[in-house]
Amino acid sequence: MRKRFRCKDLGWKCGYLQTAPTVTELMVKVEEHLRHFHALPVLPADLRQRAESVVYEVPPRERPEVRGTAGREASRPVPREGP
C-alpha cells in the first residue's frame, strides 16, 4: 500500500500532501518540503520522528464499476454510409 503524509497532521496550517510507495521515499520528499517551505535548513530528529508517526497507508483504489453505455451511444450521431 502507498504511504501518505499531510503537513496539517503535524498541527501546522499547511495544505501539503504527499504520497509515495514507501516510507523511505516519502520521507525524502517530506524533508525537502519542510526545509524549503517551512524554512528548516536542518531537520531536528524529533520532528522527523513526529513526521514519520503521522504517515498512514492509503488503500488501493477500487476499480470503478463498469456501467452500461446505452445512454451515451444513443446520443452519438449515427455515421452515414455511401456518398
Give pLDDT, residue 74. 47
Q: Where are the domains of the chain?
A: 2-59
Residues 45-56: tens digit of each pLDDT:
999 999 999 999
At 83, is the secondary structure helix, strand, or coil?
coil
Burial of 42 by CB count in 10 Å (0-12 exposed, 13-18 middle, 19+ buried)? Answer: exposed
Residues 1-44: tens digit of each pLDDT:
899 999 999 999 999 999 999 999 999 999 999 999 999 888 89
Q: Is the pTM of this model over 0.75?
A: no
Residue in the structure block whose three cell numbers are 514519520: 52
Give pLDDT, residue 71. 47
* pLDDT interval class at 60 (50, 70, 90): confident
